[in-house]
Every structure is written in C-alpha cells, then in structure tokens.
Structure 1
C-alpha cells in the first residue's frame, strides 16, 4: 500500500468507529477485508487510527470536522504536511478535497480542545493539577505510549536480559523510574517471539506499575492475594522479588486464564481462587486491589476510553471501587495491609476514595500513598497502603 492508501484505509476505519464500532473490531474487520495489506501496512493504518483518536478534538478543529477525512486532514496539517499532496484520488488515495473542505479548519482553542479532552474532564484536570501540569499531562496523553518490559529478577539480571533481547533484534534502554524496567527502542513487534519473552526473562509491564509494586513492603513468607488480578502481571512482578505465598482472584475468572502458564514460565507458583475459595483461604497478610477505573493514566494506549467516559460512568466506577475495598478488607489479617491501586490520575478515583474508606473504617490507617504522573517513560498510577489494627 502507498502512504496515501494507508491514510484512506484509516479514514474508513475511523468512520466505522464514529458509528460506535470499537476501534479494535473496526481494525480487525478492515484487515480481514484487505488481504493485500502486509504487516507493515496494518501497523501503519493502526498508528494513524489510534493517533487520530488520541488527538480527536484538536484534529477535528484543524480538519474542520469529526469524520475520518477531516480527522486525517487535521493530522496532516499538525504534522506540517500539505493535505493536497495526500488527498489526490490516485492509486487508492483519498479523494481530492473539495472547495468546502478546503475552507474548513481552524487553530484549536486553548484549553480542553488543545488538550484533546472533553470539557468536563479538562475542568477536573485543571482543578487537580493546575493549568500548566494539566496541560503537560494532557499533551503526553496525545503521544504514543512506550513499549515497556519488566525484567524477571528471579531468572536473570537486567544486563543478561538486555543481551538475550539483543540476540533476537530487540533493542532496549534502561529507565530511571524503576530498576527492572526497560523501554523497547527497536523491534517491539519481535518481543512476543523472542527467547527472552518465551523463557520468562521479561514480561510486558508499564514502568509506573513496576515502580508501584516495587514500593510495596512484603515480608518473606507472607500470604498475598491479588484481588483484581486480571492477567496477573502485578502478582508476577511482586513474586519476582519476594519469596511468599501467592494467590490471585478476579471477578471474571476467565481473565486469569493465561496466568498459570505465565507463572510457570516465570518460575512462580500462583493459586487462582474463585469467590468461594477466597473465604476458605483467608486471612491474608496483604490484599492488593488494582481496582477497575477510568484508566485515565493509560489513555494513550486506549484513547477511545477518554471520549466514552461520562460523569455518570465515573460515579459508577467510584461505587465499584468502594465496594471492592469493602469486600477485600474483610479478608485481611489483623496487622495486615490493604493496598488500593488504580491506573488513574483523577482525584475522584484516588485520594478521595482512600479518604472515603478511612472515614468508614476506624480500624485502618494510611501508611503510604504515592502517585506517578503520566510521562514519556510511564503511565499514570496511584497507590495507597492501608494497615489494619493488630
């Protein structure tokens, strides 16, 4: 495919997304119908689509509309490329821009439009961080997220992992945020097939998430439950550095289907528990609740989420988070820890939730609270450690 044909394909995918088709489904449907597209073509179209979703408001302003043609025209203008050189109508390129399209478009307004956020969210960003930090965070969320690896300290050190990755054409750089974290500089699509990944020397995990798990104090031999485990990445990160007894649970048990294989590859034993089994296995010395959230710290990876979040949905998430904490605290042993974590940067899901929980439970005290802003190296993340009276 020519570069212009890739733009046209992205336009078509974006138009399907505008009709409420999830981005991944829209991309998969296009790829199935485009047998001529190679892996490089599919990757390029995906990049166009996701960047347009990250920058939807500013591209719409520049391009003069919210349909696929306008968004990609806005993307070209921001990149300093004359849209007329791409919208030629030749060899599957987008059709030539008409006079009406050429007359449309303007500079994005300062504030929510420039930040590529809904108005109501921009107000919350500003109130939480101040104008300059709010804009800095929003601008980072407009960029593509890094591919980050965690070195499994139980199997190899960082230097050894780098050497093994290099053998398979994966170039990485170290990150100051966490000593087990590596950013992939070249060969990201080779990671899953690399020996380092297949043999458990590295796992895919964001740097902030790694740093948060490294900040937890876990005594050797402790009984630890990952209450909202999902794929189990945080359990594996913790188990790589502490010799303890590990348990994992998720309300949707199928989310943990790959965890046994991942744990085996990493040389770790994890017991997966359903809801009934938790009561039998309790109490635990530490219960980690990486709660469902808006994902605002990870929106550059899933940009659809910031456009679909509403004030009403945020309140639903807050209710779910508090319910999870209420349920999880019952399984913590006296003197044990309840750890609340989110990949959100919104105060409503972080500081305020901790304060709400403490106001209801006098037996608990806050012993540690940390947050990681969105940066070029890592996603936004929040962590609070609560200790139960002995």
Structure 2
C-alpha cells in the first residue's frame, strides 16, 4: 500500500470504530479479517496509526475545535495527527489527500482552513486543560482524582502509553528459562517480569498466533498485573475453586495451572459464548481440571445449591476498566456497557452472592481492573460491614504463605497502578471466612442469621 492508501485505510477503520458499538480491538480484528489482501506490514502500520490517534482523542479534538472545524471526524483527526504529532507540512498533507486511486479524497474548504490553522503547531499547548492533556473524560475526573490524589497526573500520563506485551508461562509445560529459549527460536525475545514469578515481558509486539510456544500451550498472553491477581487467590492442588466471572478465562487458566491440574476449578459466567471460546484455551494449556458452568445471573440457583462448598472463590467483577486504558484507549470515550452508576450496585450484588459459595476457613478474592476507590476499597468496606464472618487477609500475609517474595503493594490490599508497577491498573482484596469455631466463639448463631437484616452473608 502507498502511504496515501494507508491513510485512507486508517480513516475507514476509525469510521468503523465510531459507528460500531464494539471495542476498538474487536472492530480492528474484523476489519482486517475482511480484507485479507492487506499485507502484514500494512496491517501493522494502519493499526499503529489508528491506535495512536485513539490515544490522542481529547487533544486532537481540542485542537480541531480551536481550529474552528465543525466536529472531530475521522478525516479531521487524521489531518490533525499528521500536522501536530507527525509534524507534516501542509504541502505534504495536500499531496496525500490527492483524491487519486486508493488515496483520501481532496480536502474540503473547511479542511483546508483546519490545515492552515494547525500547521506549525505541536500537540501540546500551554492553554490546554489538564484533563485534556492527560485524556481524562469528564465522567472519570472526579473519581480518578479522589482515588489517585496527588498522583493523578503521573498515573494518567502513564496510561497514555501503549501497554507492554506480557506472557504467563504454563508451569505444567515450561519454566521461564525454557519458555524464553522456545520463544527465541521464533526470534521473539523476552525477559522475566519484575513482580510475577510466572511472567515474561516480550520486546516489541510480535505476532504470537503461529509461534510453537504459544500453539503448544507453553505461554499465554496475560498482563503481569492480572497474573498477580491469580497469585493472590493462592489456590492449592486438590482444592475446590470457583472463578465466578471467568470471561475469556485468563485468570481461570492461571489458577488451574497453579493447582497443577489437581482439584476442580468451576469457570462461571453469564455469557456462555465466552466460556465456549475459552474452552480452546483450556485445551491448549493441557488443563483438565476446569469445568465451565454458564450462569443465568449472579443469583443463579446453582449458587445456593453449592453454598459453603468451595475453598476459593474469585470474583473478577465487571468494572469501569480504567486500569486497562493503556490497551483500550477508546474505552475512555465510548460507553459500551453499564456506566459507573449501574456497575456499583451490580458489583455489590455479585460479591454478596458469590460469598455464599465460600466454605468456613475459605477465601473470597474480589478483584477489578479499575483504579477507582468506589469500585475497590469502598466495595470491600461495605461488604465487610454486612458480612461480619469475613475478615481481610493482608496481601503481605498471602505472599509470605506462598513464598512469593516481597509483595508488590503496601497495605492490606493488592493495588497496582501503571506508574508504580508498570502493569495495568488492578485491585484485589483477599477476604477470609472465619472458621465455624471462631463464629461460635463470637456468639454468632449461623442457622438464624438473616443476610439482609443482620448482614451476615449466609442464606436463610
């Protein structure tokens, strides 16, 4: 493809993202799948440019408005990106928008005025508001500032970067050194991650789909922070474990592998299709201790039938996803699911229901990929007020039990941020249900507890 043809592909791709109510990565995959004629180098160039524009959505929009243009269309965003970020001069831009075969159409009068207004400027400007500069949407400013405090700017700036490519080794098939050696045969170079004892960080973004180490299940793609959440579950071989919101199965895989294929992991989700797709990942990893189980809702009758049966219950709750903005930059601006007002009661309801599955002495791990206090600490504190048979197991104690070295976070919870840990933003709280003996000593009559009136989290 010529440079101009690539630009037109970027415009087409951004248009599809704007018009399709699906995440940008899914839209991109479908776009290229339907255009097999686009070569790998061109696909990479087009995708990289599209993502670069998505990461600068607010800043480009601010300049487009300042330049007097009516709205930030895909063409206007591409023009602004070429002029402000790539520092192309107006003459070069006019040549690329030539209207020739496969090239973008000639500029309109309004687009010509925009080019003249933006030429010789850079993306940064002293009058640009801080929220625009760090790409923080209006809905997230208050909760993000409340959660991050004086680290608001540094964390938000880190979220502007592209996320690294992390892998988790499958301990049933490899260790980190053997996995590094296997990847190197495909000219893929990786090094050990800082925090996760199972993690590798790959240099660049090589395609992994056709690599033997991936196809044979030696490694899985998983952010280091997500790996640490699975480690916080601290499952033991032979235990009974539930991943209550399993989704695509990334943490399910990690938990099942930590159990050395012994015991039972029930992967639950209300989206049965996701569990079916995850089954291929389970097979590739050589794991046969995973049992997919679709739920009709968080209050599915299956939960009540299996209350107090499981040693570990992981609740990777649906959330705002603010911790994943490095890899999902469009999620800042496009609400494709429930908003924060709907998510907060849903998280509380899921946590309350899943708690019924935990046996005395067992653990409930509540996790999100959010950086918001309301979705994290506040949810745990509210849960503990109404479920007094649970106590917090400090993350340092979990790491000490697992002999996993120094914990990556201070305080009782696992709280990971991009600037501090170079991972996605994650939160996890380990909540341990008191043993029945402890409850009796505390004067709690378990058979007479009402979970609504007295908040003891045991079904009548």
Looking at structure 1, the residues matched to 183 and 244 of structure 2 have their Cα atoms a distance apart, in angstroms, of 32
Distance of 1:14 and 1:186 partners within structure 2: 24
Give the alignment partner of residue 152 of structure 1, picking from 170, 191, 200.
Answer: 170
Higher gyration radius (CA): 2
Map 1:207-286; keep pairs closer than 5 Å. 207-243=224-260, 244-268=263-287, 269-275=289-295, 276-282=301-307, 283-286=309-312
Q: Which deviates more from structure 2 when the two are superposed, residues 49-58 or residues 98-107?
A: 98-107
Residue of structure 1 equivalent to 2:216: 199
| Cα distance in structure 1, aligned partners of 2:293 and 2:337 | 33
RMSD of aligned residue pairs (Cα, Å): 2.6
Q: In the alignment, what sits opposite 1:134?
A: 152
CA apart distance, 1:125: 1.8
**Range that drifts further, 344-353 or 98-107:** 98-107
Which segment is superposed worse, 223-232 or 244-253?
244-253
Partner residue, 2:116: 102
Which range is displaced more, 105-114 or 25-34? 25-34
Structure-2 residue corresponding to 1:386:
431
What do residues 326-367 of structure 1 show as CA deviations (whole Å, max 9, x unaligned)? Answer: 110111111211110001111111111111111221211122
Mean CA deviation greater in 349-358 or 360-369: 360-369
- In 2, are the aligned partners of 1:248 and 1:272 still within 8 Å (CA)? yes
Q: Output the CA distance in 1 between the equivalents of 2:18 and 2:49.
A: 15
Q: 3-state SS of the aligned residue for 2:431?
A: strand
Are 1:372 and 2:416 an aligned pair? yes
Shift in Å, 1:188:
1.9
- 8 Å Cα contact 2:169/2:218 also seen in 1: yes
Residue in structure 2 matched with residue 81 of structure 1 by the alignment: 87
| CA–CA distance in structure 1, aligned partners of residues 161 and 181 of structure 2 | 29
In structure 1, distance between residues paired with 2:37 and 2:228: 43
- d(CA) in 2 for partners of 1:225 and 1:36? 44
* Map of 2:327 onto structure 1: 301
Matches within 5 A, 1:157-168: 157-168=175-186
- Give the structure 1 partner of residue 406 of structure 2: none
Cα distance between partner residues in 2 of 1:292 and 1:81: 40
Q: Tell me what 1:70 maps to.
A: 76
Q: How far did 1:20 drift? A: 5.3
Assess if the C-alpha contact under 8 Å between 2:361 and 2:433 holds in 1.
Answer: yes
1:121 equivalent in structure 2: 140
Whether contact under 8 Å (1:230, 1:255) holds in the other structure is yes
Equivalent-residue separation in structure 2 for 1:30 and 1:339 (angstroms): 38
Match of 2:453 in 1: none
Q: Report the 3-state secondary structure (helix = DSSP H, G, I; strand = E; otherwise coil) of the residue aligned with 1:86.
A: helix
Larger mean CA deviation between 348-357 and 229-238 belongs to: 229-238
Q: TM-score, length-normalised on structure 2?
A: 0.77
Contact 1:151 1:180 (C-alpha < 8 Å) held by counterparts: yes
Question: Equivalents in 2 of 1:168, 1:310: separation in Å?
Answer: 37
- Say if 2:173 and 2:218, in contact at 8 Å, map to a contact too: yes
SS of the residue 1:240 aligns to = helix
Q: Does 1:5 find its partner at 2:25?
A: no
TM-score by length of 1: 0.90
1:16-73 per-residue CA deviation (whole Å, 9 max, x = no partner) reads 4344554357546754775642222223222222222222001222344511122223
For residue 303 of structure 1, report the CA deviation from its aligned partner. 2.0
Q: Which moved more, 1:18-27 or 1:354-363?
A: 18-27
Q: Deviation digits for residues 190-236 of structure 1, max 9, x if unmatched?
A: x1211111111101111101122223333443211111111221122
Task: Output the CA distance in 1 between the equivalents of 2:8 and 2:187.
Answer: 32
Cα distance in structure 2, aligned partners of 1:299 and 1:162: 28
Consecutive aligned runs of 4 or more in structure 1 exceeding 6 Å deviation: none
SS of residue paired to 1:333: strand
Whole-Å Cα distance in 2 between the matches of residues 31 and 252 of structure 1? Answer: 26
Q: Secondary structure at the match of 1:249?
A: strand
Across the two proteins, how many residue pairs are aligned to each other?
A: 388
Q: Is the 8 A contact 1:51 1:143 kept in 2?
A: no
* CA distance, structure 1, for counterparts of residue 336 and residue 169 of structure 2: 37
State how far apart, in whole Å, the 2-side matches of 1:219 and 1:185 are. Answer: 33
Show the counterpart of 1:322.
Answer: 348
**Following the alignment from structure 1 to structure 2, what is the Cα–Cα distance between the partners of residues 310 and 35?**
28
Once the two structures are TM-superposed, the CA of residue 253 in structure 1 deviates from its matched residue by 2.1
Structure 1 counterpart of 2:314:
288
Structure 2 residue ranges without an equivalent (≥5): 296-300, 395-412, 436-460
Partner of 1:334: 360
- Pair 117,273 (structure 1): closer, same or farther in 2 beyond 3 Å: same
